[in-house]
Amino acid sequence: MSTNPTPPVPAGAMMLELVMLPVADIDRSLAFYRDRVGFAVDVDVAPAEGVRVVQLTPPGSYCSVTMTTGMAQASSEPGSLRGLHLVVADIEKQRADLVERGVDVSPVQDMGGVLYTWFADPDGNTWALQHMPWRS
């Protein structure tokens, strides 16, 4: 289980906590996100025959991703998720860490004072590391 604390839900709030991540092979994707990207594995359960739920959380994040099989209401085309953002304090260090772990990460780009670098998972879902210097 993840040790990330979760904040209370204030009245009127709608807090994003879980994003469905469409993948073709849960074991391959679990290895990628856990071993290469460094996400914590929160849940890996098979609550019913033909159903599997794997939930992972990026370091320091309140929002997690989940990969499922056997749940029609949660299915999407593998690789169809685009542009999820992971906000980081040091984009060069974070990029170097991912490269060292074997992730193919684009060079850092300055987009009007906001820095970005991009990578994709084995299915083609895309992620951005984003650094906003004023938030460091």
Task: Please indicate, yes or no, if residue 114 is contained in any of the structural domains.
Answer: yes
Task: Please indicate, yes or no, if residue 1 is contained in any of the structural domains.
Answer: no
Task: Please indicate, yes or no, if residue 4 is contained in any of the structural domains.
Answer: no
Task: Please indicate, yes or no, if residue 3 is contained in any of the structural domains.
Answer: no
Task: Please indicate, yes or no, if residue 8 is contained in any of the structural domains.
Answer: no
CA-to-CA distance for 49 and 70, rounded, in angstroms?
A: 8
Both structure tokens of 3: 């040790």
Task: Please indicate, yes or no, if residue 6 is contained in any of the structural domains.
Answer: no
Task: Please indicate, yes or no, if residue 12 is contained in any of the structural domains.
Answer: no
Per-residue model confidence as pLDDT tens digits over 79-114: 999 999 999 999 999 999 999 999 999 999 999 999
CA-to-CA distance for 109 and 104, rounded, in angstroms?
A: 15
Position 4 scores a pLDDT of 53
Instruction: Give the number of domains in the chain.
Output: 1
Per-residue model confidence as pLDDT tens digits over 5-63: 666 788 888 888 999 999 999 999 999 999 999 999 999 999 999 999 999 999 999 99
Both structure tokens of 58: 């990026």
